[in-house]
A = this chain, B = another copy of it.
Amino acid sequence: MCQRYTLDPIGNHARVQQLRVSGFMTKVTSIHPAGTAEPNRSERKHKAILDAATEVFLQNGYLGTNMDDIAARSAVSKQTVYKHFESKEALFVEIVTSMVSVAGDRVHSQIPEFQGSEDLAEYLSNYAYQQLIVVLTPRLMQLRRLVIGEVSRFPELAKVLYERGPKRAMMALAANFAVFAERGLLEIEDPAIAASHFNWLVMAEPVNQVMLLGDGAIPKLDALRRHAEQGVSVFMAAYGRK
């Protein structure tokens, strides 16, 4: 009764899209004096559509969004929208997967390196604080709400978000913890479990609040700082050297 979409990277959509995209690429993007790419008209429109659609999907959800609105907001005719994206579904999937990847990379790249000399608790505190700042943005929280609300219609998208989001973060963390344990800085039996404990001591409370109470509930920086420190102190009590 209610369609269930799956990501289908070698299926019809992707193939058709591929053909269209290669069409794009025949015109070589000219290079701007400053060195930045000077997007031609088609590329500008493409981006305008993506930007507008992102906004609308995040705000209204998949079903709550209509293509006429996207066309109007991107100042483009509806026909042009369909020239660039095969369907509403394809547009949605592309936007969400792309946002998830970008966000996942940003979270990942934000990880500071541990300088052997500093205090471990302080390092972890900064780490936690950075993660909180990157994750607790309206954009990311809206994305999370959107994907969670569409789990039954787009289960693959949620899986991707899980893997490029919390799972990836916790695996990176676990790898770090394993090193710290090796060096005798932490006492850890299972680095994966310790990573989960760390991650959720830090993230769970504010993320849960913002998910339900809205972006207005995003805490201020000093509150995040304190929150990070409190979480880390519990973590250190359990996993620090006795």
Contacts and interface: CB of A to CB of B under 8 A. Distances in A.
Interface of A: 1-2, 59-61, 63-64, 69, 145-153, 155, 158-159, 161-162, 166, 193, 196-197, 200-201, 203-205, 208-209, 211-214, 230-231, 233-235, 237-239
Given A2-B60, A162-B209, A197-B234, 9 more contacts: A2-B59, A155-B214, A158-B212, A158-B214, A162-B212, A204-B208, A233-B238, A237-B237, A237-B238
Q: Which 7 A-B pairs have the closest CB atoms?
A: A149-B149, A200-B204, A204-B204, A237-B238, A63-B63, A234-B238, A162-B212
Count the copies: 2
Contacts of A149: 61, 145-146, 148-150
20 contacts: A1-B69, A2-B64, A59-B152, A61-B152, A145-B149, A147-B212, A151-B211, A152-B214, A158-B211, A158-B213, A158-B214, A159-B212, A159-B213, A162-B212, A197-B201, A197-B230, A197-B231, A203-B204, A233-B238, A237-B237
Contacts of A152: 59-61, 145, 214
A205 B211 contact: no
Contacts of A147: 212
A233 to B, nearest CB: 7
Contacts of A201: 197, 200-201
A137 to B, nearest CB: 16
A164 to B, nearest CB: 11
Contacts of A145: 148-149, 151-152
A99 to B, nearest CB: 15
Contacts of A146: 149
A132 B196 CA distance: 16
B151 A214 contact: yes
Nearest to A150: B149
A113 to B, nearest CB: 26
Contacts of A150: 61, 149
Q: Which of A146, A152, A166 has the most CB of B within 10 A?
A: A152
Given A200-B200, A200-B204, A230-B193, A212 B59 contact: no
